[in-house]
Structure 1
């Protein structure tokens, strides 16, 4: 059995797209997954799945994300992008942050998870807008983000990344990324 992490985009951040973590655990469990756990209230689910689990096209993680997304839509009437990464993918991500050595304040480090690897032309054109001090490193379906002046007022946001790269994205802070990697490794 492989451990996976499902990252839901845009839930519980305003009055819309409200999903309780108990409901989310039940939905993922009802899909046949094991040892289902949530982390925080922002749509992070760790679960075990057998190889080849999930219905639909694409790789295992894509199929799993599609099945969770469909179940949420069917049961709760919400269309929520769900990005899934394996325990191995998260472990590698947590080990390779290029900004860890230069930034002592980990609250200034985040990771944007992308639904798909961006088209090479769009990736090459990605730049930080205006005088924003953000730095980024694109690594396949993830973007390591460093915000020396903090994340609160940046224009280099999740919405900006989605628009520029043409793919769904969800962002997690570094503490959450490390915690999810540890939970998936258990």
Structure 2
């Protein structure tokens, strides 16, 4: 069986001095689970690894969450996506990524496909020039002034929209780098 490449996207670590996860230790945790070629990108919980496992990305995420809790003593939500899905997400981007700064374009990865009905309360015209589009288990967000100033990002993070989903957001620069790191 050949190894497949995956990205693990951890949520809520190394923010404001809370839930400290040194990246070297995260790589050790991944290797301890039997994964190979563990690498990290930035300090915000992006890791890539290869594995010959037949486990689903959801099973890999639950396994990593349990290992993080055992190793660090606190929980951290995690999504695992394979390299093919990352590439498909990048290829399907509905916004002109090459023409935008990385801080203007974001992708929210979702544990499952969000129903369009979750977004019914969002009047998209109210937030222009900000825009969002749904993709395959992702929400693309164009925020010309960045995520920190985005009112649309706040609306997309409301409980009515994300309740019951594991979600985590990455800017386009990070998405592009993860695509590169998980390329076969």
Per the normalisation by structure 1, the TM-score is 0.87
Between 131-140 and 25-34, the greater mean CA deviation after superposition: 131-140
Query: Could you say which residue in structure 2 is the equivalent of 1:3?
Result: 5
Contact 2:106 2:172 in 1 (8 A): yes
Q: 1:2 to 1:41 in 2, by over 3 A?
A: same
Query: Could you say which residue in structure 2 is the equivalent of 1:30?
Result: 32
1:61 equivalent to 2:57? Answer yes
Per the normalisation by structure 2, the TM-score is 0.88
How many matched pairs? 180
Tell me the distance in 2 between the aligned counterparts of 1:152 and 1:118.
23
Secondary structure in 2 aligned to 1:3? strand
Provide Cα deviations, 1:10-60, integer angstroms capped at 9, x if missing partner: 11111211100011000011000001000110111100011414xxxxxx1
**Structure 1 residue 120 displacement after superposition:** 4.4
Runs of 4+ residues over 6 Å off in structure 1: none
1:141 equivalent to 2:149? Answer no
> Aligned ranges for residues 16-55 of structure 1 at < 5 Å?
16-53=18-55
Q: 1:111 to 1:101 in 2, by over 3 A?
A: closer
Query: Could you say which residue in structure 2 is the equivalent of 1:100?
Result: 96
User: Which structure has the highest helix share of the two?
Assistant: 2
> Aligned ranges for residues 150-165 of structure 1 at < 5 Å?
150-157=146-153, 160-161=156-157, 163=159, 164-165=161-162
Contact 1:129 1:155 in 2 (8 A): no
Tell me the distance in 1 between the aligned counterparts of 2:100 and 2:17.
34
**Structure 1 residue 172 displacement after superposition:** 0.6
